């Protein structure tokens, strides 16, 4: 990854955030998943994250589009604000394990609330490690949700 691609991604995110009237600097880190940009906590953090992370996902989408337009070979850009994504991942993994525990105890399937594709993937991956349960997605579009099922003994 070139330095110009890193600087472009950082600059574009900071410009987008400025449309919210926020003057924030993004930190940059390269990882195996791509280029990670993070904005530290600010008084405007809730506005940047949005309802259930919708604004954050939109910012990430826009930054990726702008970077890919300038450099088609650029890696994926991941955007986070105040550690929201990391905390959300941990909360979803905890929810998945707790749901699996209840399903194993009761022998009854349990349906989770609707989630976006990235969140569903986190839950599926977390439960892949528990052999007593399986998962499937049901529903369409915004009402798509995960169902945790007990495996037959």
Read off the CATH number of the domain in which 40 is found: 3.30.300.20
| CB contact at 8 A, 145 and 115 | yes
Q: Do 7 and 78 fall into the same domain?
A: yes
Longest dimension (CA), the chain: 57
Name the domain boundary from 28, 63, 82: 82
What is the CATH classification number for the domain harbouring 98?
3.30.1370.50
Mean pLDDT of the residues in the chain:
92
Q: How confident is the model at residue 2 (pLDDT cuts 50, 70, 90)?
A: low
Judge if pTM exceeds 0.75.
Answer: yes
Residue 25 sits at φ, ψ, to 5 deg, of -105, 140
Using 50, 70 and 90 to split pLDDT, how confident is the model at 1?
low
Q: Which ranges of the chain would DSSP assign to H, the alpha helix?
A: 3-18, 45-49, 54-70, 84-106, 117-128
- Shared domain for 9 and 70, answered yes or no, is yes
Residue 139 CA: distances (Å) to CA of 53, 70, 95, 112, 142: 21, 37, 20, 11, 8
Give me the domain span that covers residue 109. Answer: 87-150
Q: Which residues contact 130 (CB under 8 A, 6 or more apart)?
A: 97, 100, 104
């Amino acid at each position: 990854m070139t330095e110009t691609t890193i600087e472009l991604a950082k600059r574009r995110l900071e410009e987008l955030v400025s449309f919210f009237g926020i003057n924030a600097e993004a930190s940059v880190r390269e990882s195996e998943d791509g280029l990670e940009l993070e904005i530290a906590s600010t008084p405007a953090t809730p506005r940047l994250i949005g309802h259930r992370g919708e604004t954050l996902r939109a910012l990430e989408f826009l930054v990726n589009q702008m970077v890919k337009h300038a450099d088609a070979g650029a890696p994926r850009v991941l955007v986070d604000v105040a550690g929201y994504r990391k905390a959300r991942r941990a909360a979803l993994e905890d929810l998945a394990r707790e749901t699996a525990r209840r399903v194993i105890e009761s022998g009854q399937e349990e349906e989770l609330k609707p989630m976006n594709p990235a969140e569903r993937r986190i839950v599926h991956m977390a439960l892949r490690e528990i052999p007593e349960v399986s998962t499937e997605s049901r529903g369409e579009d915004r009402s798509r949700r995960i169902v945790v099922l007990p495996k037959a003994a």
